[in-house]
Structures are given as C-alpha cells and as structure tokens.
Chain A
Amino acid sequence: NAGVTQTPKFQVLKTGQSMTLQCAQDMNHEYMSWYRQDPGMGLRLIHYSVGAGITDQGEVPNGYNVSRSTTEDFPLRLLSAAPSQTSVYFCATSPYSYSNQPQHFGDGTRLSIL
C-alpha cells in the first residue's frame, strides 16, 4: 500500500517550459488536492477535486491546470513555467470530500524554475 505517490521528487525547468506533476493514490480516496509550500507562506491550495470528473480552484490556481479522469490520479500541469512557480508541491487526499477525516500527504515535488 503506497498511499500517496508523487513523481518526480525533484525537477528543474526553464522559464516557459511545460510539465506535469503526477499524484497517484491507492486508497480509493474521494478527495484529492494540490498545495504549494513557500517559506513563510504555509501551504496554499492550488486546485482540488471532490471526485472523478470534478475539479475546482483553490486559493492560487493561476498558471496551473488539473484534471481528474480516474479516482486514483490527479495530475497538476504547468503550461508555461515561471520563476514564481518555484516551490515545493504537495498532493493530499482524504477518504471523503465533506467528512472530518484528515488529509494524507505525499512526499512532495521540489520544483525549480530558472
């Protein structure tokens, strides 16, 4: 049981490049989300999904796209990377979207944009 798996763990991009951060979970969790973590800013919600085929914007969605075609996967796409997107990205899941269950976090992806 791997839990929440994020790939890659590290990535360096040039400004303007595109890439997809992968998040996969094997716990059949309904809710999946993406956060970015920046020093002194805590975790800020980028996008989230309450089930397959349903996504919504969080606090800082600009520059990012998501889709949820399956329960297991929730990829985060950077269409044209900018230095301001240099951050650590965490995927988090929980069993039910509107329950009081805590979220489970992946190990993170450290992304640098040059």
Chain B
Amino acid sequence: AQSVSQHNHHVILSEAASLELGCNYSYGGTVNLFWYVQYPGQHLQLLLKYFSGDPLVKGIKGFEAEFIKSKFSFNLRKPSVQWSDTAEYFCAVKNSGYSTLTFGKGTMLLVSP
C-alpha cells in the first residue's frame, strides 16, 4: 500500500522567508503527485500537480514543486512566503491505474508578519 510522509508537522516562518516542505512516498511505480492547501476553516484546494514531463511544476500563488523519482520525493517550495500563506499543506499521491488518493499527515505553516 502507498504511504506518504511529510517531514515537518509545524513550520514557523517570517514573511519573505523561503519555504520548502518535504514529501516522500513509498510506492516505486508510476505515480501522480499533488499538493493541496487548506486555509483555516476551509476545504482543501489544489496547489499543483505532477503527472509526467518536466519534474519541476509550477502552481498557483507562486508555489512550485520538484519531483525527484530516485528519491521518491515531491517537495514544495516558495521563494518568499506571505502572511496569507498561513495554512495547512498536504501532499497526496495516486498510484497510476488506481482510483484512490493517499494523503500525508499535513504540515501546518504559520507565517508571522
């Protein structure tokens, strides 16, 4: 079964700091990779996704992620965070040919102004 590991449960940054959130998955076959964001009191929204091709994918709000197949990783990055990025971030993986999505436990990001 697929498992997803997010390295940091809580991250605290000041505005303008750079962000990198780690995500590793266990299944070695073809995967589809996603990052979702959940703002306080809201539902999950898609930040970005990787299916194939260029391993560096760009999403909304200045976020990007890099897929490194050899490391089973899909880390999320943002060069300069804003207070409005305060949210919980979830990495999710779908094994190609399967219907279900497996989520990591999430990383709570707090950005201080």
Contact = CB atoms under 8 A, between A and B. Distances in A.
A binds B: yes
| B interface bracket (residues with beta carbon within 8 Å of A) | 20 to 34
Nearest to A4: B43
A97 B99 contact: yes
B104 interface: yes
Interface string A72-90: 0000000000000000001
Given A48-B100, A102-B34, A40 B9 contact: yes
Contacts of A42: 6, 90, 103-106
B9 A105 contact: no
Given A31-B99, A45-B101, A98-B97, A90 B9 contact: no
A92 B99 CA distance: 12
Question: Chain B's interface: helix, strand, loop or mixed, by majority?
Answer: loop
Contacts of B98: 98
Contacts of B104: 42
Nearest to B46: A102
A24 interface: no
Given A41-B105, A42-B106, A45-B101, A100 B43 contact: no
A107 interface: yes
Given A50-B99, A98-B98, A105-B44, 11 more contacts: A31-B99, A42-B6, A42-B103, A42-B106, A44-B103, A45-B100, A45-B102, A48-B100, A100-B94, A100-B96, A106-B43
Interface of B: 6, 9, 32, 34, 42-46, 49, 51, 90, 94, 96-106
Interface of A: 31, 33, 35, 40-45, 48, 50, 58, 90, 92, 97-98, 100, 102-103, 105-108
Top 3 A-B pairs, shortest CB-CB distance: A42-B105, A97-B99, A43-B103
